[in-house]
Structure 1
Amino acid sequence: MTQPIDLSAALASFERIWSPRVVATVNDYDVRVAKTKGEHVWHVHNDTDEFFLVLDGQLRIALREEAGEREVVLDRGSLFVVPRGVFHKPSSPAGASVLVVEPSGTLSVGDEHDEVPDHVDVTVGHPLAGDAR
């Protein structure tokens, strides 16, 4: 990567929800952007944390922890790290744009997950269209 990335242009380059695009790689980590709307799927990443930053809209993340279930609400500009080994389910009733950081090759539905609905893309991230760079 030798040029700045315009995140607005990156997000405008695709329509599909829950289908992240890799905008940069830092060491062995992907920086991905995604559009969200509705519910993702309950899943867990056994060996890595997952970083979320809300660029626009609101993202909710339900968590299954030892003390029980809870939900965090992330408004624009908020970030949250889901610890490794914690089942979680992102959702966004009205839609949101998010930036996610996780190790390259990490599946969007984690290591274990519930049945994946058709609107959720099972991927390690798609390349970003060239015109967004």
Structure 2
Amino acid sequence: MKFSPINFNEKFTKFSEHWSPRVIAEMNEYQFKLVKVAGEFVWHDHPETDEVFIVIEGCLTIEFRDGIVSLESGEMFVIPKGVEHKPSASSECKIMIVEPKGVVNTGDTGGDLTAKNDLWV
């Protein structure tokens, strides 16, 4: 067992790509992933699981078919399974996502923004 904390700021310095989650820890088959985001993502959903967005730095907007939520640093939002959503950020935003291991970032939508799974930093 390693007895040192995980420093978010230090981990964020290890990658520059947007919309490409990096795993920093696992707990009970759930992964904690850091992500840098900017611009618009794709409409997608996760039919089998909820998804947690925690804003570390910046502002994140999550659009839904029937509404919108804006998150600032220190805020989080849980998206229930099966709810279609589209995250976006007008400038770079640093977030943490908590979801089960193996979840594809674009759900079944696919496309150019589909990231490789299980990339650790």
| TM-score band w.r.t. shorter chain | over 0.9
Do residues 95 (structure 1) and 92 (structure 2) align?
Answer: yes
Q: Give the Cα–Cα distance (whole angstroms) in 1 for the partners of residues 71 and 35 of structure 2.
A: 15
Give TM-score scaled by structure 2 length.
Answer: 0.93
Counterpart contact for 1:108–1:125, Cα < 8 Å: no
Higher relative contact order (CA 8 A, sep 6+): 1
Counterparts of 1:25-44 in structure 2 under 5 Å? 25-44=26-45
Name segments (4+ residues, structure 1) moved above 3 Å: none
Distance 1:92 1:32, change over 3 A: same
Paired residues in the alignment total 120
Give the strand-richer structure, 1 or 2. 1
Q: Give the Cα–Cα distance (whole angstroms) in 2 for the partners of residues 104 and 61 of structure 1.
A: 22
* Secondary structure at 2:58 match in 1: strand
Counterparts of 1:1-133 in structure 2 under 5 Å? 2=2, 3-64=4-65, 69-110=66-107, 112-113=108-109, 116=111, 118=112, 120-128=113-121
Offset at 1:53?
0.3
Counterpart contact for 2:18–2:36, Cα < 8 Å: yes
Counterpart contact for 1:58–1:75, Cα < 8 Å: yes
Identity of aligned residues (%): 38
Give TM-score scaled by structure 1 length.
Answer: 0.85
For structure 2, the 5+ residue unaligned runs are none
Q: Give the Cα–Cα distance (whole angstroms) in 2 for the partners of residues 20 and 11 of structure 1.
A: 11
Query: Superposition RMSD on alpha carbons, in Å?
Result: 1.3
For structure 1, the 5+ residue unaligned runs are 129-133
Q: Give the Cα–Cα distance (whole angstroms) in 1 for the partners of residues 99 and 83 of structure 2.
A: 15
